Amino acid sequence: MRKIVGIALGLVTMLAGSPLAGAGPSAGGYSSDNIEWITHVPFNVGTASGAKIIGKHMYVTSWHNFSIFDVSDPLDPQELSTTPFGFKFENEDVDGNNKILIFSEELPDPSLHIWDVEDKSNPVEIAVLDGAGQHTMSCLQDCKWLYGSDGFIIDLRKPATPVKLDQTWTDAVGVPFSSPHDVNEVGPGLVLTSSDPLLLLDTRNPATPKLLATSEPNGEFIHSSKWPRAAKDRFALSTGETWIPAADARCDATSGGFTTWDTTGWQKGKAFKKIDTFRPPSGTYQDGWPPSGNTFGCSTHWFEHHPDFRNGGIAAVTFFNQGTHFMRVSSKGKISDEGFFIPHAGNAAAAEWLTKRIVYSIDLQRGFDVLEYNGKL
C-alpha cells in the first residue's frame, strides 16, 4: 500500500530562510506532503551514480556491474538482468540507444566498453577500445558518435569497431574553459558542455565541431547541464558539484548549486547570462535540509527537468544525503524549493521522470526509490 507522508509545505531559500514545513517519516525516508513515497527497489549494483531511461527500459550502472529494468509499468519496475564486470570507475553517465550501451572506464585502465543489449536478459560486450576511456562518454546522433568529457571523439558508426579520432572537441573550442565533466546533446546538431563556462557546439559534423556560444563564467565546477525543449527553451540549467563539506559539516556559499541561465540572443553571439543559483542550506530533516556529515553532501549532482518544462517549471534535483528536491524555475528564472524526499541512510545521485508525476530517485548505495510528485506542475 502506498504511504503518504509529511505535513505542510513552505518555501526555502539559502538566504531568506523560510524553511519547508516539517517532513514526516515513512518506510522509505522523510518527505514533504506533496511527495508520495511508493516503494523502494533494491539491487546489487553498489555505488550506482547514474541511470538512463530509453523507451521502456532503464539502465543503471555502477563501479562493479550494471542492471537493466523493464519500466513499462513505472510503479512496478522489473529487473531483467544484472551483469558484473569487475571494478571499473566510474561509468557515471551511462548512455546508449537500447541496442548498445556505452561504458567509459576512467580507472584503473582508461577504456571504452561497448555492450550489445538487444537481449536485455543477456548483454554481451562486443568491443573494448583501450586508451579511450574518460570520466563520462555521451552519445550523439543516436550513438553513431561519442564525445568524451575531456575531448575524445569516437566514431561509433560500426559499434563493434569503434575508432578514436585524432581531433578532439576541446581542440575546436578556441576559448579558455575549465572542469569539463560531461557533454549533452541538447538538440539536433547541438551539444552543451558541462564546463566553466558552458559551451554550445555545432556538431552537425561531429568530427569537426564548431563553437557557437558560451555562458558567462560561473566560478565553480559544473557537473551537468541541460537545455529543455531541444534547445528552444529560454532557460538552460546546470548543477555544480562539491565533494568535501565545510569543516563543521554545514553547507555554505561555496556548496555546489542548481543554476538557471538566460539563453536569449545566443544566435547573435550573446553569452548565456546567469539568473539564479540555489545552494543547499543546512537545516533539519523536517525542513528537508539535514546537515551533511560526509563527503557526499552539500552539493547537487544529476538532475532532470519535467517533461512539460516550458520557459519555467519543475526539475528533480539530487543533493546526495539531502535527498531529491523538486525545484521550481519561475517564468523569470528564479528558483524555489517545492518539495523533497530524503531516503533513510542514503545518497541520492540521480533523478529520472518516468511520467508527468512519477520519478525514480537513484541512490548511490541502496537502489532506487519510486516517488510520486503531487505538487503544482
Residue 215 has pLDDT above 80, yes or no: yes
> In this predicted structure, what is the pLDDT of residue 306?
98
Range with the poorest average pLDDT among 20-29, 188-197, 254-263 = 20-29
What average pLDDT does this structure show over 240-260?
A: 80
- Report how far apart, in Å, the C-alpha atoms of 299 and of each of 203, 261, 296, 364, 372 are: 31, 19, 8, 14, 23
Strands 57-61 and 100-107: unpaired
Give Cβ neighbours of residue 1 (< 8 Å, ≥ 6 apart).
none
Cα–Cα distance, 311 to 328 (Å, whole number):
11
Residue 11 has pLDDT above 80, yes or no: no
| Cα angle: 213, vertex 217, 221; to 5 degrees | 110
Cα–Cα distance, 147 to 137 (Å, whole number):
6
Residue 20 confidence class, pLDDT cut points 50, 70, 90: low
Cα–Cα distance, 82 to 62 (Å, whole number):
11
Q: What percent of the chain has pLDDT over 70?
A: 91
Cα–Cα distance, 169 to 264 (Å, whole number):
25
Residue 325's nearest CA partner among 356, 302, 295, 309 is 302
Helix residue ranges per DSSP H, the chain: 169-173, 228-231
pLDDT in tens, 181-206: 999 999 999 999 999 999 999 999 99
Give Cβ neighbours of residue 91 (< 8 Å, ≥ 6 apart).
49, 50, 61, 62, 63, 66, 103, 104, 105
Cα–Cα distance, 209 to 190 (Å, whole number):
9
> In this predicted structure, what is the pLDDT of residue 246?
47
Residue 250 confidence class, pLDDT cut points 50, 70, 90: confident
Residue 375 confidence class, pLDDT cut points 50, 70, 90: very high
> In this predicted structure, what is the pLDDT of residue 9?
32
pLDDT in tens, 325-362: 999 999 999 999 999 999 988 889 999 999 999 999 99
Q: Which three cell numbers stand for residue 165?
A: 579520432
Residue 45 has pLDDT above 70, yes or no: no
Give Cβ neighbours of residue 109 (< 8 Å, ≥ 6 apart).
130, 133
